Amino acid sequence: MRRMRKIKIVATLGPASSDYDTIRALFEAGADVFRLNMSHGSHEEIGARHKIIRQIEEDLGRPIAILADLQGPKLRVGVFQDGSAELVEGQDFRLDLDDAEGDATRVQLPHPEIFQALEKGASLLVNDGKIRLKVKEHGEDFADCEVMVGGTISNRKGVNVPDVELPLAALSPKDRSDLEYVCALGVDWLALSFVQRPRDVEEARELCQGRAAVLSKIEKPLAVKNFESILEASDGIMVARGDLGVELPVQNVPPIQKRLIRKCRAAAKPVIVATQMLESMIESPVPTRAEVSDVANAIYEGADAVMLSAESAAGDYPIEAVTTMNAVAIEVESDPTYRDVINASRGGTKETVADAIVSAAREIAETTDIKAICCYTQSGTTATLVARERPMVPIIALTSMMGTARRLCLSWGMHCVRTGEVTRFKEAVINAARAARTEGIADATDQIVVTAGVPFGQSGTTNILRVAPCEERLIFATDPG
């Protein structure tokens, strides 16, 4: 099942997409990665969806990536006497540790670590930023605030603290339990919420113990500030525009998105653009024009993947949402302007032999009649370097490691094929030619580029490139050895 576009689609599973037939239909419509949202659903429900995905993978013979998205710490106010209260701009309002029911003058905020970190003048955002408070005075167990933007505040609404670094770990006790459960299940990617600094990522990586790749969600201003060090510590990035748009002025989000995508590409690490991409399709079979433009912009910017959340998890039209995203991607990538934009954004220094090899592979493929770049990879590093080049021809990632094949399903342009282990480069070329023919990417009269690292089985040793025919008798005839 070869995709006719390079960008990948991540579809979140939920009540609207929890049975075999629907999940298979989502995959066939274009989903490459399935997201399991650990904020919703029991371990039993998550486990059942994981089992269905792996069954579909076996039935269709195609690697499928599974991403488990951890909830992260949730900061919420307490409860009110009447269930809610009305706050008026300019009034005083107190947040404290008292568990008594709240009213229009105060409410509990059961997070002492917030009071310890607050500064005078800091902003507190309640209910996705609909209510904005400014700290006038604070102590170890209270914060006296002025209401800057009023409205109705109700039970257990979420609180965002954009201006200060909170002394909170990115992993709550629930997250630690969920992490161990999904890693034991065998997910491929772990998305980490509430990332503020690289040590948050390092903590998750230690707990994963190599069982899943770690993807950091950029959803806080501090994560944007510390992005370079967070990117270095991570295997991938998600631009989580929902919380980012709450904690920052909304007009700041588009340039941040563009900047983060370019930095991820330069680092050869996959980046997902997420949140509200086709939001109206939760209830409508067709998207708005603005939503289509939003998806298209992420594709033009060179993102590795675009993501559906409630559209596929709880919406009325999950399959239509994936179909729409797939159609937009095919149309954008066939636009000559797309190729101009992608080529213009190619940059970064070439410092290693592997960098030079994959750059040469792209140039050869684009200046001669080459049908595919085939890269042998154990860890996935070689393949992601090829993806960074954004070549016009398909990328076939060949690996004997099923985990690597699954993880690479998130990377731009990657067509993953599991193959047997090889010990000689000639075997690699033959397997690559067979894969190109079998997958319908080339025929016996075509040529491919093959990259690999010799000796085989050692990560990060990409050091050889060959232009090879797809017909095996020609491979033997032209083999220099």
| Residues with catalytic function | 35, 76, 217, 275
Question: What Å distances lie between residue 330 and 24, 40, 132, 280, 300, CA to CA?
Answer: 21, 32, 42, 21, 12
CB-CB contact of 96 with 47 (8 Å) = no
> Residues in the chain, how many?
481
* CA dihedral sign of residues 37, 110, 108, 248: negative
* CA dihedral sign of residues 121, 122, 126, 132: positive
Task: Output the six-digit token pair for 135.
Answer: 């700290």
Q: How many CB atoms lie within 10 A of CB 138?
A: 19
DSSP 424: S
Tell the residue number behind the tokens 């491919």, with chain if given.
448
Q: How many CB atoms lie within 10 A of CB 209?
A: 8
Tell the residue number behind the tokens 């049975």, with chain if given.
19
Of 184, 183, 182, 188, the closest CA to residue 407 belongs to 188
Cβ neighbors of 215 (< 8 A, separation 6 or more) are 67, 189, 190, 191, 192, 234, 235, 236, 237, 238, 270, 272
Q: How many CB atoms lie within 10 A of CB 392?
A: 15
Phi, psi of 407 (to 5 degrees): -60, -35
CA distance 140 to 29: 53
